[in-house]
């Protein structure tokens, strides 16, 4: 039996949402003690501004990476209900103590529930999504389609896109000269924000996806500085393109299990 894809409604909610962190402790308290007020929250395209926000740059960056992955899955028609349910299981577990009121809170109905999760939980979701074994409509691996699609982007185009990614990092370096250290944005956040703005070319967005994926691999090798990870990833990817060694970095940023 072929996996059932998510509804168009849920797919559209992934794309339009702000994906900003929600204050989990405050939200849980509201579900427990102010459920009638929670039921009255106003939603637009599955997202409500009534949930208490919080400022957390790391969570914000992780949420944007998750969004990029899910949008890519949707674009390639491979985001199944089982994948969606597995992701939302993290939310259900987070709110387990409030499960009697969880349905009324609507947090399991939309992607906004993911925004309650802490960094370690978001990293677990990212690890899961990167290892998803994607299947096409006909039941065969999507890998061939992903590689073919990537190879259709010429070597020159991809090199140019990677150079543009590097220039964006350099621009952030210039911006930092006039800012305090605590006002700096790391390269990953800058790249995600640029893709979020919607004006980025597809080749550029693909290159950003490659860089983020390669950064995650390098991070597992105990390289911890985010900016160093990004720069090293760009260098490695350029080398791979020059040597015509193009791996499965594009597509859905999947690390095949």
Indicate the domain borders of the chain: 8-130, 152-242
Looking at residue 47, its pLDDT comes to: 93
Q: Are the C-beta atoms of residues 219 and 177 closer than 8 Å to each other?
A: no
The predicted-structure confidence for 138-158, as pLDDT tens digits, reads as follows 334 444 444 444 455 456 677
Q: Which two tokens stand for residue 139?
A: 């039941």
CA angle in degrees (0–180, nearest 5) for 246-212-5: 85
CA distances from 72 to 75, 81, 224, 232 (A): 5, 15, 26, 24
pTM of the shown model: 0.56
pLDDT tens figures, 161-170: 888 889 988 9
DSSP string computed for 69-109: HHHHHHHTT--BHHHHHHHHHHHHHHTGGGHHHHHHHTTTT
Please report how the helices 202-219 and 119-130 are oriented relative to each other, as an axis angle in degrees rounded to 10.
Answer: 110
Q: What angle do CA 46, 49, 53 make, to 5 degrees?
A: 120
pLDDT single digits (tens) 115-139: 999 999 999 999 888 877 444 333 3
């Amino acid at each position: 039996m072929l996996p059932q894809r998510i509804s168009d409604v849920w797919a559209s909610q992934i794309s339009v949402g702000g994906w900003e962190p929600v204050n989990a402790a405050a939200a849980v308290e509201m579900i427990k003690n102010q459920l009638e007020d929670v039921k009255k929250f106003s939603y637009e395209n599955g997202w409500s501004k009534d949930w208490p926000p919080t400022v957390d740059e790391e969570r914000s960056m992780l949420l944007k990476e998750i969004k990029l992955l899910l949008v890519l899955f949707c674009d390639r028609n491979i985001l199944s209900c089982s994948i969606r349910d597995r992701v939302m299981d993290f939310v259900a577990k987070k709110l387990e103590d409030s499960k009697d009121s969880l349905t009324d809170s609507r947090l399991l109905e939309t992607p906004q529930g993911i925004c309650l999760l802490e960094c370690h939980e978001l990293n677990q979701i990212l690890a899961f999504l990167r290892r998803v074994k994607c299947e096409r409509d006909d039941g065969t691996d999507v890998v061939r389609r992903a590689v073919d699609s990537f190879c259709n982007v010429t070597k020159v185009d991809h090199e140019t896109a990677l150079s543009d990614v590097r220039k964006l990092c350099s621009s952030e370096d210039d911006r930092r000269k006039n800012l305090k250290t605590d006002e700096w944005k790391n390269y990953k956040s800058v790249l995600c924000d640029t893709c979020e703005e919607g004006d980025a070319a597809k080749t550029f967005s693909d290159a950003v996806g490659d860089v983020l994926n390669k950064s995650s691999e390098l991070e597992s090798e105990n390289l911890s500085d985010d900016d160093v990870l990004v720069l090293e990833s760009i260098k490695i990817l350029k080398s791979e393109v020059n040597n015509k060694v193009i791996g499965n970095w594009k597509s859905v940023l999947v690390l095949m299990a």
